[in-house]
């Protein structure tokens, strides 16, 4: 590689988040104010992590996409409908 290639590689090298240390730094960095506004606007400020089978995730994704919804919106609607039906 010549000097120009090395300059390009230095410019577009590994991001800080490509290492475990870099990800930890990024995760502890305060969230940008515009990101917090977006979360408040939707009311979604708490994270919920679920482990599901890959085929289930693909199925929910396809269902949500067909209705032009985010997966979380589809799941919220499904739970609300189930709660109404179950009383």
Residues 6+ apart with CB under 8 A from 28: none
Q: Phi-psi region for residue 36, left (φ > 0), alpha (ψ -120 to 50) or beta?
A: alpha
More confident: 55 or 46: 55
Q: What is the mean pLDDT of the chain?
A: 80
More confident: 5 or 87: 87
Supply 39's token pair: 């979360």
Q: Is the pLDDT of residue 26 over 80?
A: no
pLDDT tens, position by position, 47-80: 899 999 999 999 999 999 999 988 999 999 999 9
State the pTM of this model: 0.54
Q: Any idea where the domains of the chain sit in the sequence?
A: 46-87
CA atoms within 13 A on the CB side of 84: 6
Question: What CATH number should be reported for the domain whose range is 46-87?
Answer: 1.10.1220
């Amino acid at each position: 590689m010549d000097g120009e290639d090395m300059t390009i590689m230095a410019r577009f090298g590994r991001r800080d988040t490509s290492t475990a240390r870099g990800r930890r730094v990024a995760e502890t960095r305060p969230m940008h104010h515009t990101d917090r506004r977006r979360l408040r606007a939707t009311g979604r400020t708490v994270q919920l992590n679920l482990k599901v089978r890959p085929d289930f995730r693909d199925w929910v994704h396809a269902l949500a996409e067909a209705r032009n919804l985010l997966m979380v919106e589809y799941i919220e609607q499904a739970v609300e409908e189930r709660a109404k039906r179950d009383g």
